[in-house]
């Protein structure tokens, strides 16, 4: 084709696409990756999840009638305790069905994020590290500091136990294990181990997670329709 013909009949430009194809319009995809950022910025060289972006997004999702379910993909090393718990609490309080899928890793504060969903999956090769609360920087070496850290740890273990099938006692046993990690305290659970301990509901991948989410969404739709019929009858 000549240059003049090209000018008369320009070829359509390819549309820009994101790295991931869009899911059904009624499903929102939420990714929690890298390190969960706290009140200090981690910088451009560290992949992170920012609570100031996730929390408002979750509020908008809850208020959006077009969104019927949320799929949460996790591949995180953990991070800030308060920021992670804030996100986990908000996910757990959503009225819409939620399903989480642990890919690669769901370590540290990533554990409460994984169990905050209505149903959780983990791929066989993924791992989850449970360990005691840690702190960075300078702190005062007094008993009150220890008590505060202990209370923080109780908040984490209490949340995990309340949203999974593992007991708080067993969870603390795994967190304080000294036989597995080199020069460290804690336990690393592979996919099947996490399910066996009651931390995660099921082994599975993206297909299983989406199917389960659609099942929960259909159940909620049926429940709402039944409630409406009751109101009409009365």
Q: What is the pLDDT of residue 229?
A: 76
Give which of 169, 186, 164, 190 is closest to 177, Cα–Cα.
186
Could you state, in order of their start, the residue ranges of all structural domains in the chain? 26-37+45-233
Q: Are 162 and 199 in contact, with CB atoms under 8 Å apart? A: no
Catalytic choice (108, 116, 120, 164): 108
Q: Which CATH number fits domain 26-37+45-233: 3.90.226.10, 3.40.190.10, 3.40.50.300, 3.40.50.620?
A: 3.90.226.10
The torsion angles phi and psi of 191, rounded to 5 degrees, stand at -50, -55
Q: What is the pLDDT of residue 42?
A: 77
Long-range CB pairs of 83-86, under 8 A, 24+ apart, other chains included: 83/36, 83/37, 83/38, 83/39, 83/51, 83/109, 84/36, 84/109, 84/110, 84/112, 84/113, 85/109, 85/112, 85/155, 85/156, 85/159, 86/51, 86/55
Q: What is the pLDDT of residue 182?
A: 85
Task: Round to whole Å and give the CA distance between 57 and 72.
Answer: 13
Spatial CB neighbours of 41, under 8 Å, sequence gap ≥ 6? none
Q: What is the pTM of this model?
A: 0.83
Q: How far is CA 177 from the centre of its chain?
A: 25
Task: Round to whole Å and give the CA distance between 219 and 95.
Answer: 13
CA neighbours closer than 13 Å in the CB half-sphere of residue 104: 11
Q: What is the pLDDT of residue 15?
A: 43
Q: What is the pLDDT of residue 214?
A: 96
Q: What is the pLDDT of residue 234?
A: 58
Task: Round to whole Å and give the CA distance between 141 and 47.
Answer: 32
> Active site includes 131?
yes
Catalytic choice (116, 131, 163, 164): 131
Residue 17, Cβ neighbours under 10 Å: how many?
8
Spatial CB neighbours of 106, under 8 Å, sequence gap ≥ 6? 74, 75, 76, 113, 114, 122, 126, 127, 128
Tens of pLDDT, residue by residue, the chain (234 residues) = 555 555 555 554 444 434 344 566 799 999 999 989 887 777 778 888 898 999 999 999 999 999 999 999 999 998 889 999 999 999 999 999 999 999 999 999 999 999 999 999 999 999 999 998 877 777 788 888 788 888 888 999 999 999 999 999 999 999 999 998 888 899 999 999 999 999 999 999 999 999 999 999 999 988 878 777 776 655
Alpha helices in 64-142 (DSSP H): 81-92, 110-115
Q: What is the pLDDT of residue 150?
A: 85
> Active site includes 39?
no
Task: Round to whole Å and give the CA distance between 183 and 185.
Answer: 7
Q: Are 143 and 199 in contact, with CB atoms under 8 Å apart? A: no
Q: What is the pLDDT of residue 7?
A: 52
């Amino acid at each position: 084709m000549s240059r003049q013909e090209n000018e008369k009949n320009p070829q359509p430009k390819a549309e820009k696409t994101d790295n991931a194809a869009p899911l059904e319009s009624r499903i929102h995809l939420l990714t929690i990756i890298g390190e969960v950022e706290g009140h200090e910025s981690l910088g451009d060289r560290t992949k992170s999840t920012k609570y100031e972006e996730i929390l408002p997004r979750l509020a908008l999702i809850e208020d959006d009638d077009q969104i019927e379910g949320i799929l949460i993909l996790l591949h995180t090393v953990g991070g800030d305790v308060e920021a992670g718990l804030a996100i986990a609490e908000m996910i757990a309080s959503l009225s819409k069905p939620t399903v989480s899928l642990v890919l690669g890793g769901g370590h540290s504060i990533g554990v409460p994020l994984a169990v905050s969903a209505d149903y959780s999956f983990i791929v066989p090769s993924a791992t989850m590290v449970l360990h005691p609360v840690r702190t960075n920087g300078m702190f005062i070496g007094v008993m009150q500091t220890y008590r505060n850290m202990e209370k923080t740890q109780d908040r984490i273990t209490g949340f995990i136990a309340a949203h999974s099938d593992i007991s708080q006692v067993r969870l603390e046993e795994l967190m304080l294990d000294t036989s597995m990690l080199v020069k460290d305290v804690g336990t690393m659970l592979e996919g099947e181990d996490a399910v066996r301990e009651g931390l995660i509901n099921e082994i599975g991948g993206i297909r299983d997670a989406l199917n389960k989410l659609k099942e929960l969404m259909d159940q909620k739709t049926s429940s709402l329709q039944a409630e409406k019929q009751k109101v009409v009858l009365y």
